[in-house]
Amino acid sequence: MRLLFLGDMVGKTGRTAVWDRLPGLISDLKLDFVVVNGENAAGGFGITEDIFLETINAGADVVTTGNHVWDQKEAVVFAGRHDQFLRPANYPQGTPGRGSGLFYARNGARVLVANVMGRVFMHPELDDPFKSAEVILDACPLKEQADAIIFDFHAEATSEKQCFGHFVDGRASFVVGTHTHVPTADAQILNGGTAYMSDAGMCGDYDSSLGMDKEEPLNRFISKMPKGRMEAANGPATICGVGVEISDATGLAEKIAPLRLGPRLAETVPEFWR
């Protein structure tokens, strides 16, 4: 199975770049399943229902989120209406929406996708992500109820992300980090067969500070005083993500490599998809 995960869409330039390029990527690369993190898609803060639906219409099978999931107040309402919209699974019981779901890939495979948020340097501090993952895996084990299992681990600390990868190694197909908006160089397959990358990067303008117009963040570092609101940068976007090939026989990863398309960062498409 060919899986593509795209990192956090930031603002209009990030989401429109994904909408424009994703249909062609699905066709050209013969993708079976696509996950996109959309938590910064609405002006850099949260996601609206219209943006979510447009992302699904462009070809995403699931949209994940993170700590900004509720920044747009309408998300509290529409989260429960759409199975393909995921918020972190380790929110307390009773939180609107869902944190995981079982979906069907284009090749007919059953794909479990789970969205979990870390706790180190993160706000709000949610329930234990390791215990949450254990509950999810116990309910839907790999090669029993699911042919592939994907975790979007939304977290700040790379140490927490790496430990989470090792925790589910051999029990999940793929663990990818989101939140820090900078693609890491550690795409690998862990000892137990789980594909792992600490951060997929963002889909947005890299002439920025994490996708936001750089003037206000720079001012705050220098002066310690806000002058205005943070605004999403609106220059040309680079799409960042990671591609994984998953064995139909084992549900574990066979290949992993980053994908980057656009200005500023060196473009790359996984060699096994060329």
Residue-wise pLDDT tens digits, 164-194: 999 999 999 999 999 999 999 999 999 999 9
Structure tokens at 40: 């910064």
| C-alpha neighbours within 13 Å on the C-beta side of residue 9 | 34
pLDDT at 2: 98
pLDDT at residue 274, rounded to an integer: 79
The answer to whether position 217 is within a domain reads no
* Residue bearing tokens 């398309």: 261
Catalytic annotation on 68?
yes
136 within domain boundaries: yes
pLDDT computed for residue 244 by the predictor: 98
In a domain, 177, yes or no: yes
Q: How far apart are CA 109 and CA 138, in angstroms?
A: 19
Please choose, from the candidates 255, 108, 123, 250, the residue with its C-alpha nearest in 3D space to the C-alpha of residue 196: 255
- Tokens 């603002």 sit on residue: 11
Q: 245 in a domain, yes or no? A: yes
Residue 40, annotated as binding a ligand: yes
In a domain, 226, yes or no: no
The two three-digit tokens of residue 83, written as one number: 């199975």
- 172 lies in which domain range? 1-206+237-271
110 vs 22: CA distance, rounded Å: 21
Average pLDDT of the segment spanning 232-260: 98
Helix axes 158-168, 129-139, angle to 10 degrees: 30
Q: What is the CATH number of the domain that holds 98?
A: 3.60.21.10
- DSSP per-residue letters across 193-222: S-EEES---EEB-SSSBTTB-SHHHHHHHH
Residue 122, token pair as written in the block: 């993160």
Rounded-to-integer distance, Cα 147 and Cα 142, Å: 6
The answer on whether 154 is annotated among ligand-binding residues is: yes
Q: Is residue 219 part of a domain?
A: no
**Tokens representing 146?**
């699911």
pTM to 2 decimal places: 0.98
Count, residues in the chain: 274
Q: Check pLDDT > 90 for residue 214.
A: yes
Q: Can you name the residues that pair with 174 across neighbouring β-strands?
A: 150, 195
* Average pLDDT across the chain, whole number: 97
Closest CA to 273 of 11, 51, 31: 31
What values do phi and psi take at 258, rounded to 5? -75, 155
> Given phi > 0 = left and psi -120 to 50 = alpha, else beta, which region is 205?
beta
Catalytic residue selected from 68, 82, 123, 166? 68
- pLDDT tops 90 at residue 198: yes
Q: Is 181 annotated as a binding residue?
A: yes
92-117: average pLDDT: 98
Q: State how many domains the chain has.
A: 1
Cis peptide before 124 (omega within 30 of 0): yes
Please tell me whether 82 is known to bind a ligand: no
Residue 83 and residue 190: Cα distance in Å, rounded?
30
| pLDDT band of 148, cuts 50, 70, 90 | very high
Residue 82 main-chain phi, psi, to 5 deg: -125, 115
Average pLDDT rounded to a whole number, residues 114-137: 97
Cα–Cα distance for residue pair 15/57, rounded to 1 Å? 12
φ/ψ of 243, rounded to 5, equals -110, 140
Stretch 51-57: mean pLDDT: 98
Look at residues 129, 193, 191, 192 and name the one whose alpha carbon lies nearest to residue 156. 129
Residue 225 covered by a domain = no
Question: Is the distance from CB of 205 to CB of 14 less than 8 angstroms?
Answer: yes
